Chains A and B, each alone.
Chain A
């Protein structure tokens, strides 16, 4: 049974989180490294270039990589301290097996024993309940080779449709909206186009904390004369000195986009020629936004009407522009509609597909882009192919050398998998690079669901909150212990280079997955020699697809400093900017720059919808969640790095002084935030930089500090992204004793 260990303290004494600081070799000034490996940061989607210094098979430090064109040496605090994972005391170096006689709940086991037991248990579940009783959860921080392998392993090795990944919590709303409007899902422009824009519009993106290096592009645009518009319920560091700040009410973004488009039409600030030649569906949209007068928009969005006029003027009169958005507009039960609203505004301006005219979502995870293209998504096959499309299935069946009927159909999103586990439809679970116990909303339910599994195994480098549920933890690899490609924020495919060997019995994740396949007797097509061989097959599997990597090689990446996909042949240098006039793609086949048979982009017409849970008498405050600069995602890695934890040790409840006064909470005081799902007790930070109807809590912590005990599991009907950014809550002040007691 996949229940958590009884003694949490005994578990954490053995497996952390322990705060690692520089010691030993990493502080010895006389030491010269054995090797300096040019690679990339393991954390966010920007994938900054970094050089890792290695001594005695440990990463002991770093040096800025000035040669990588995206960051030219720049790094955020996470990238600087990432090396402290090297030789970390919490690192799993053996397999662990659940053992009730051990205080920590686990005993160390040989890899061989653990993998055999894992395979046997999976086999037993499949024998009894059928192949579909096993599910796989994987992640978008994996290399593309591993992501590809996970999809193939689930479909062929396990014969289950149930695989999904944590990109589901990341940018799937943007991905869906991009596919609807453009027929392709990738940043439309390289970041260098930001610098030449007249106006940079940033909606729901805490750029300075979540994509710090992008800040320089925005500031550089401003230095060259651009106006910066920031739409956010909080005055984030990027909002502080912007030219126009719109403190929008959480969950109301599509209303703002409708309202701006209304004004653009009214003032004649749309590009009629572009719309006529390159798009379809504008008339219906114009009819819809006609009702979105400035007065109505202001009332719904909670914005000063004057600001909406100013935004429409700045955007409307610009001759070049770049629109960026991120989770702030995507994490909603109408996330796709929000993104469509943003895209509508871009298309109506005609400013896309040209130099300095751009649009992009800021991808969150290391391989947020590549990880969503090659088959670990529940409805997808490699090359961004559709698992329900007979032609696509036939193509992949041919590459995989299997009968097309051997490829299962579409599965369900990761949260629906939790519901299936809860209902007993999925009995066994394999997780890699996903910490749903912390990262999914309403995570008390998630924990209860995991407890119901007959069998669970987690491949992990540190024992995450999710791995604690596992019957068997298999020691996997850190990013620097393997090689492979990832696709960063701009659509640039880059190469992660191996710096050290995995310690002890730990090993590369792809080896563990292939061992499982072999022990299940399904090694056919799952016996690669290494990432290079997987990549060669991935190239063939993506050929002719939308995400076409067929012309990319490790050598070309090295030579060019990255390759933008699509890259369709060996002599194709790649595609830096999408939708350029006269550009070719396999769907339009010359009819136009967009990825539809007629080559035209689509305006998506969707009426504004409210968030799922709106405030009422019982729960009168909006709760929103997000990140801080010093932590990354569910904190599995960054909560173990001392200097990063010191920077922002505990989650705080951000609240406006007006709201604080109303509910009698003071700066530094303990308070309890409650929603219909659960509650969390944390200290309060009173600031004038958040809307006076909204609370903000960052989400990187597990257990009693997790705000995802409170968030709502409402999902977008298309993208299935959860609504992390808005639900209803209330707040109560607590005494020091009550606060301490809540965490005792």
Chain B
């Protein structure tokens, strides 16, 4: 059973793209050699910014809702699991429907959906997930709400996300600066209004 006081927080502004999470995730006994976490450059030409994506463990998981085989289950403690092997038909509906782009079919070469399960083998026995254990920048943080309050006074945790007409609430929480936090985060809206400062040219001698 997951310790109900322990929560997963994600702060992309801290991410340094080192891939410790990816390398650590690929050490899991159930999917050795393959990472379930996704880490990508947002636009390497513009910036070294990277975005780590773990399964957000939605309260009403879209992946489960669209699964024609009813293969995706949530544990009583709120962890959305990988598709059950005996049920998964590898149709990739979950992968296409998940607003965060988390589930992947064929990740381990066995034509079944697999995804981040919050290191249930570790977290259910009181250990921290591997990615949040190793993360050098602590962009991935696993701890109590009280620890968060002490350690991240500039941040607020948000767990509602707006994708067009769909509002999604999640178990995993996103940390955003208190100064510009909105709940829910308008994800699609933000994508449309993205602008990049030219940090390099601003600093050069003229």
A and B are interacting partners: yes
Q: Could you list which residues of chain A lie within 8 angstroms of chain B, going by C-beta atoms? A: 21-22, 26-27, 29, 61-62, 64, 66, 73-77, 79-81, 208-209, 212-213, 215-216, 219-220, 222-225, 235-241, 245-247, 298-299, 301-305, 307, 629-630, 643-644, 647, 656-657, 667, 685-692
B24 touches A209 (CB 8 A): no
Taking the closest CB of chain A, its distance from the CB of B164, in whole angstroms, is: 28
- Cross-interface CB contact of A64 among B14, B133, B202, B206, cutoff 8 Å: B133
Interface residues of B in 129-166 (CB under 8 A from A): 130, 133-138, 151-155
Shortest CB distance A65–B (Å): 10
A304 touches B202 (CB 8 A): yes
Contact of A61 among B15, B27, B44, B138 (CB under 8 A): B27
Asked if B48 and A223 make an inter-chain contact with CB atoms under 8 angstroms apart, the answer reads no
User: B46 interface residue, CB < 8 Å from A?
Assistant: yes
Q: For residue A303, which residue of chain B has the nearest CB?
A: B205
Say yes or no for B17: interface residue by CB 8 A criterion. Answer: yes
Would A77 and B18 count as touching, CB distance under 8 A?
yes
Is B167 in contact with chain A by the CB < 8 A criterion? no
Q: Which residues of the other chain, B, contact A225 by a CB distance below 8 angstroms?
A: 153-154
For residue B23, CB closer than 8 A to chain A, the reply is yes
B-chain residues with CB within 8 Å of residue A307 when the two chains form the complex: 203
B153 near A224: Cβ-Cβ < 8 Å? yes
From A693, which residue of chain B is reached at the shortest CB distance?
B204
B180 within 8 A of A: no
Check B96 for interface membership: any CB of A closer than 8 A.
no
Q: Is the CB of A687 within 8 A of B152?
A: no
Contact A240 B48 (CB under 8 A): yes
Q: Return chain A residues, CB-CB under 8 Å to B16.
A: 208-209, 212, 215, 237-238, 629
The contact of B23 among A237, A239, A643, by CB within 8 Å, is A643
State the Cβ distance, A258 to closest chain B Cβ, in Å. 16
Check if B170 is an interface residue, CB within 8 A of chain A.
no
Task: Give the CA-CA distance A686 to B126 in the complex, in Å.
Answer: 45
Chain B interface residues (CB < 8 Å from chain A): 13-20, 22-24, 26-27, 29-30, 32-33, 44-50, 128, 130, 133-138, 151-155, 198-200, 202-206
Partner of B136, one of A81, A216, A301: A216
The one of A73, A222, A687, A692 that contacts B133, using a Cβ cutoff of 8 Å: A73
Assess the B154–A223 pair: CB atoms within 8 A. Answer: yes
B204 touches A80 (CB 8 A): no
* Contact call A245/B32, Cβ cutoff below 8 A: no
Nearest chain B residue, comparing its CB with the CB of A305: B205
Nearest opposing residue in chain B for A647, CB measure:
B19
Residues in A whose Cβ lies below 8 Å from that of B154: 222-223, 225
Contacts of B15 in A (CB 8 A): 237
Which residue of chain A is the closest to B46 with respect to CB atoms?
A688
26 contacts between A and B (CB under 8 A): A29-B32, A61-B27, A62-B27, A66-B133, A74-B134, A74-B135, A74-B136, A75-B20, A77-B20, A80-B23, A80-B27, A80-B134, A216-B138, A224-B153, A225-B153, A237-B17, A237-B18, A238-B16, A301-B205, A304-B204, A643-B23, A687-B45, A687-B46, A688-B47, A688-B198, A692-B204
B136 touching A215, Cβ below 8 Å: yes
- Chain A residue at minimum C-beta to C-beta distance from B130: A64
The answer to whether A75 and B138 touch across the interface, beta carbons within 8 angstroms, is no
Q: How far is the CA of A204 from the CA of B134 in the complex (A)?
A: 25
B29 CB contacts on chain A under 8 angstroms? 29
Complexed CA–CA distance, A225 and B155 (Å): 11
A247 x B200 contact (CB < 8 A): yes
Q: Given A27-B33, A74-B138, are A629 and B23 also a contact pair (CB < 8 Å)?
A: no
Establish whether residues B18 and A76, one from each chain, have CB atoms under 8 Å apart when the complex forms.
yes
In the assembled complex, how far is the CB of residue A5 from the closest CB belonging to chain B, in whole angstroms? 33
- CB nearest to A207 among chain B residues: B16
What is the minimal beta-carbon distance from B11 to any residue of chain A, in angstroms?
8
By beta carbon, the residue of chain B nearest A629 is B18
In the bound complex, residues from chain B placing their C-beta under 8 Å from that of A215 are 14, 16, 136-137
Do the beta carbons of A208 and B137 come within 8 Å of each other? yes
Q: Please measure, in the bound complex, the distance between the C-alpha atom of A61 and the C-alpha atom of B130, giving whole angstroms.
A: 13
Set of chain B residues within 8 Å of A304, measured between Cβ atoms: 202-206
Which residues of chain A have C-beta atoms less than 8 A from B206's C-beta? 304
Q: For A29, what are the chain B residues with a Cβ–Cβ distance below 8 Å?
A: 29-30, 32
Alpha-carbon distance A304/B206, docked complex (angstroms): 7
**A76 / chain B contacts, CB cutoff of 8 Å:** 18, 20, 134, 136
Given A77-B20, A241-B13, A304-B206, is A235 in contact with B30 using a C-beta cutoff of 8 Å? no
Contact A691 B18 (CB under 8 A): no
Top-8 shortest CB links A-B: A208-B16, A212-B136, A29-B29, A237-B16, A77-B23, A247-B203, A215-B137, A27-B32
Bound CA–CA A220/B15 (angstroms): 13
Say whether B14 contacts A247, CB under 8 Å.
no
Evaluate contact between A240 and B49: CB separation under 8 angstroms.
Answer: yes
Please measure, in the bound complex, the distance between the C-alpha atom of A688 and the C-alpha atom of B47, giving whole angstroms.
7
> Are A22 and B32 CB-contacts (below 8 A) given A74-B133, A690-B200?
yes
Residue of B nearest to A30 (CB): B29
Q: Report B81 CB to chain A, min CB distance, Å.
A: 17
Taken together as a complex, chains A and B put the C-alpha atoms of A441 and B145 apart, in Å, by 51
- Complex CA distance for A224 and B200, rounded to whole angstroms: 27
Residue in chain B with minimal CB distance to A237: B16
What residues on B are CB-neighbors of A74 within 8 Å? 20, 133-136, 138
